[in-house]
Each structure stands twice: as C-alpha cells, then as structure tokens.
Structure 1
Amino acid sequence: MSENPEIGKRIRTGTFETNYHDQGEGSPVMLIHGSGPGVTAWANWRLVIPKLAEHFRVVAPDMVGFGYTERPEGWDYNMDSWVRHALDFMDALELPQVDLVGNSYGGALALALTARHPERVRRLILMGSVGVPFQITPELDAVWGYTPSVENMGEMMRTFAYDTSLLSEELARMRYEASIRPGVQEAYAAMFPAPRQRWVDAMVTPEEQIRAIRQHTLMVHGRDDRVIPLETSLKLHQLIERSQLHVFGQCGHWTQIEHNARFCKLATDFFLERDA
C-alpha cells in the first residue's frame, strides 16, 4: 500500500490504467476533479470523499492527463477523449449509472457526459463549472499557463481561495512537487497552450444539448470565485429545466474546501432525494 494518499486503486480503462479512489457502499457517486496544475482526485476531493462515503459508494478517478493515471503516448487531450475515458472507467467498474459531481473543468466534462449519454447519469452536481461560453478570466489564464515554481503555485492558490488563511507555504510546496513529477508538466502544457480562450470554447456543450438535459441538476458556485465567473452557473441554471442553484458567499473557487460541511450536506441531501 502506498504511503501517498493520492495513489489509490488501479484499473484498466481502454488502453491504459487509471488511478482512482473507491470508498463506501451503496448507490454510486462519481467525482470529477478540476484542472489546476498538479491536481489529483484526492487533492480535489479529500475532504468530500469520506463524508459522502457515509451514505454512498464514492469513486473518484484521476482523469487522463492528470494525477497518477497513465499518460498514453501521443494522447489527444480533448472533451471527446475525456468523455470516452469517463465511460471506460464506469464500464470497468461495472457502473451502468452514477450520480455525478464535476468541479470546474470536471464540471464541463460532467455536463458533456450527461448531455451525450443521459442514460449513464441519474443526478448531476456542477461546481464552479465550465461548459458554457464566457470570456476567460486572467486568473484562469494564469492557472492554465502555470510554469512550475513554489512562488507561482502559491500565487495561483491565492486566486482559488477567498479565505487565504487556508493556505500555507507547506501546501504550496506540496502542490508544486506534485506539478513537477515526471511527465506532469509536459502533459499539462500540452493541454492548454496559449491563446487559451480556445480551450474555454472547446469545453462548451451546445446550448440545445444543455436544454435537453432532464436530470435533476444542482449548480454550486462561490460568489467570490475569481477563476470561473458566477455567470456560468447562472446561465446553466437558466438552461437546465430541472435545476437549482446554491451560491456561497465568502467563497472562491474552492467550495468543497472552504464550505466543506455545507457542501457535503447539500450534495448528500440532493442525492438522497427521490426523483419526482
């Protein structure tokens, strides 16, 4: 067993192996992380997994290109391939349908998966989600344009959090070390080269497909998010008929960390509701 908590189980997904976490029992909830440098499923969801696992079986993969999942040579990082990876992961675990949570980039992926394969998703939570058109923020441009240093990592993390007391030099150094593991920065740089507005646009699900979503959907957003503007969740709320929107004040892009207990209760109650 690895001493690194970011390394979980491994399973074959298509042509490569996926690193993932699997806790709890019951109906399956799948968590898809964001796209910050050095991110892993565990870094994104470490405070959420144990709480949701009290009620559900929680699975959280490192999406291809991130974390400890294998990086196939010459892989084309785009929404089509990420959706394919998510489906292959669900198939490998024999999960015909899940409740789905997507954070930021992971929200765009969760949205695309739901729109393209609605039979695979029961309920959907989108957190600070990409997936509709918006003008890239300077903060997101900086995140995707990250070049490795402890200082740059610390500065980037300060744009994520409303409450910067959550941050420390030790945390910045840990995330920096994760961002310079062999192959990590190379894959990251290949995903989001400048000009980066095109990658925001590439993650958009067409409006007519979003309007066609019939799943109960919960949008969650930090009012003070500087990375992904609140307007994205307002737009999604307008487009998805069976949706609700919860906005956290005094909260940046880290809803699941800055308001962890409240977020986990919201998610638990939402997934335990009976479909009307």
Structure 2
Amino acid sequence: MPTSDTSPTEGDQDRSPEIGRTIDVGGIATNYHDVGDGAPVLLIHGSGPGVSAWANWRLTIPELAKQHRVIAPDIVGFGYTERPDDIRYDAEAWLAHLVGLLDALGLAKVAVVGNSFGGSLALRLATRHPERVERLVLMGSVGLLFPLTPGLDEVWGYEPSVPNMRHLLNVFAYDPRFASDELAELRYRASIRPGVQNAYAEMFPPPRQDKITAMAVPEAAIAALPHETLIIHGRDDRVIPLATSLRLLDLIPHSQLHVFARCGHWVQIEHANRFNALVNAFLAEAR
C-alpha cells in the first residue's frame, strides 16, 4: 500500500510528547501510547482539528495508568499515525484499524473509553466485536442520529488559522480558562503539520449531516449490548447534544449516566480529577 511520509522521526520524538511508540497495523505505522500495568484500557480520541491521542487524553493517561495498562492510539488519519494515500476515511476503516491494533498488541479483550467521534468507534467495536470489550465508557459520544449542531459543523469545517482555532477552543470548553491563546497556537500548529488538514477535510466534507448518519450505530445493536456502560456528558456541551447520551441511557440495558454541570465537550479536561476518579472507580468494578 503506498503511503505518505508522515511517520515519526527521531527528531520528532525529541520535540513532541504526542509521539509514543510505533507499531505496524495492517501496513500502517501507528503512533500509540502504552503506559502502566494491569488490565488493559483502550482510549479512543475525538475528531477535533489537529487532535492526537496525547492531546485528548494527556490528563487521563497518567491517572488511569496507576492501576491499568493504558493504550491510546492515534486513529488512522489523525495525529502522528501514517496516512495511507489510498485510504478511504470512514467508520469501517477506523474500526478495522482499531481491531488491527488490538491484534498487533495481542490484546483479546479491553475496556474501552471513547470520546465524541471515538465514542462512535467504541460503540461500533462493542456491537460488532462484543467479545473484545470488557466494559464501555462513552463521553459526549457520537453514534446515534441527531441534527448537526452549529458547534460540530464548525469543528468539522475548520479552516486553519489561529483565530479559528481560538474560536473552536471556546466552542469545546465551557470555562474560557481552558481556551488559552497558548493552547490555540499549539493546536493550530498541530493542525497544519504536513498532510493533516488535507486528511481532515477529506473526512468531514459537507453536507456534514451525512457523516453523522454514516457513523451512527443501529439502535437495535446498541440495545443488545451486554456490557456495563458508563455514559458521561457535559451539560453545556455545544458540540454533541446531551440528548444523545440520554438516549444511550435509555437504550443500553446496563448503563449509568453522569452529567457534569458548567462543562462543555471537554469533561476529561475541564473536570479532569472528577472524570479520572469516576472512570477509575467504574473500571475497578470489573476486577
């Protein structure tokens, strides 16, 4: 398979904490973080511009790793994972990449934590390969049909500039302290790395309602999930409506929902300590 030259270099590793280890997944050089010991937990990041596993989970990885083996990959098309020239970015390609990663690491079963776009992939993994999932955590999750929000349209329609990134940070976060000029500059730089914006624009072209439909998992399959599931949402989320998590609570038999007030789409960042404690306690119940 022809690939673009986007794999990590030795120099990159000196510069960026976003780069972890590299593993071959079906011919794709995949960047991932593998930290800690214990029962494995797979963290699946969201789809913001310039996102990587580390950017999404930087406050989560060290805390969960105190009790678990934490696996956090850059999904193909994102971060520092190689971007094949001939790939079609869709839910099937992303699912195949996740399953391939688990196979390459020799992991038969993992707990899964999915954020937003990553929640859709977590649901797809759990419904299509239920034997590979121990427990499920869904945070601000995509995966159901819902009307495209203005916030999500802005996220998926991002055009690179510092002001545009600064605006998106305010869309993501309820508290403006989490949308600093420094972070806007950092994430803007990540969004203009070679090949990143081209791949991003290819993933989420208009009409973007079609992408929500394409990423939706059948409700009957969700209702048949046997897994204990923790659903988390920010009450003031402007990207994914709280109604999606309320519907997931109705559908999933063994589920619970925790809603954080004064919180946008970044529960794991805006309420990091409470989020980490909640997830750690939920995962500990499986022991």
Could you state the TM-score of these two structures normalised by the residue count of structure 2? 0.95
Name the residue aligned to 2:93: 81
Q: What is the CA-CA distance between 1:168 and the residue it aligns to?
A: 1.3
Amino acid at match of 1:232: T
Helix, strand or coil at the partner of 1:214: coil
Amino acid at match of 2:165: M
Give the Cα separation in 1 of the matches to 2:32 and 2:92.
20
Name the residue aligned to 2:19: 7
Name the residue aligned to 1:108: 120
Amino acid at match of 1:150: V
Q: What is the CA-CA distance between 1:236 and the residue it aligns to?
A: 0.5
Name the residue aligned to 1:179: 191
Name the residue aligned to 1:129: 141
Task: Name the CA shift for 1:274/1:182 in 2 (closer, same or farther; >3 Å).
Answer: closer
Give the Cα separation in 2 of the matches to 1:135 and 1:3.
40
| Alignment of 1:270 onto 2:243 | no
Name the residue aligned to 2:3: none
Question: Which structure 1 segments of 5+ residues have no match?
Answer: none
Amino acid at match of 1:259: H
| Alignment of 1:54 onto 2:66 | yes
Helix, strand or coil at the partner of 2:118: helix
Could you state the TM-score of these two structures normalised by the residue count of structure 1? 0.98
Give the Cα separation in 2 of the matches to 1:168 and 1:127.
23
Number of residue pairs the alignment of both structures matches: 275
Could you give the per-residue CA deviations for residues 128-158 of structure 1, whole angstroms, max 9, x where no partner exists?
0000110010010010000000000000110
Q: What is the CA-CA distance between 1:170 and the residue it aligns to?
A: 1.1
Give the Cα separation in 1 of the matches to 2:212 and 2:174.
23
Amino acid at match of 1:227: V
1:83-232 aligned within 5 A: 83-232=95-244
Farther off after superposition, 187-196 or 164-173: 164-173
Q: What is the CA-CA distance between 1:274 and the residue it aligns to?
A: 3.5
Give the Cα separation in 2 of the matches to 1:171 and 1:43.
10
Could you give the per-residue CA deviations for residues 61-84 of structure 1, whole angstroms, max 9, x where no partner exists?
000000000001121111111110
Could you give the per-residue CA deviations for residues 18-54 of structure 1, whole angstroms, max 9, x where no partner exists?
0000110000000000000000000000000000000
Q: What is the CA-CA distance between 1:239 and the residue it aligns to?
A: 0.3
Question: Which structure 2 segments of 5+ residues have no match?
Answer: 1-12
- Among 252, 264, 269, which residue is 1:252 paired with? 264
Q: What is the CA-CA distance between 1:58 and the residue it aligns to?
A: 0.3
Give the Cα separation in 2 of the matches to 1:169 and 1:13.
36
Amino acid at match of 1:162: Y
- Among 47, 50, 62, which residue is 1:35 paired with? 47
Q: What is the CA-CA distance between 1:15 and the residue it aligns to?
A: 1.6
Could you give the per-residue CA deviations for residues 104-126 of structure 1, whole angstroms, max 9, x where no partner exists?
00000000000000000000000
Helix, strand or coil at the partner of 2:15: coil
Could you give the per-residue CA deviations for residues 186-216 of structure 1, whole angstroms, max 9, x where no partner exists?
0000000011000011110001110110000
Give the Cα separation in 2 of the matches to 1:32 and 1:245.
19
Residue identity (%): 60
Amino acid at match of 2:245: S
Give the Cα separation in 2 of the matches to 1:60 and 1:75.
21
Runs of 4+ more than 6 Å apart: none
Aligned-residue CA RMSD (Å): 0.8
Amino acid at match of 1:62: D
Helix, strand or coil at the partner of 1:34: coil
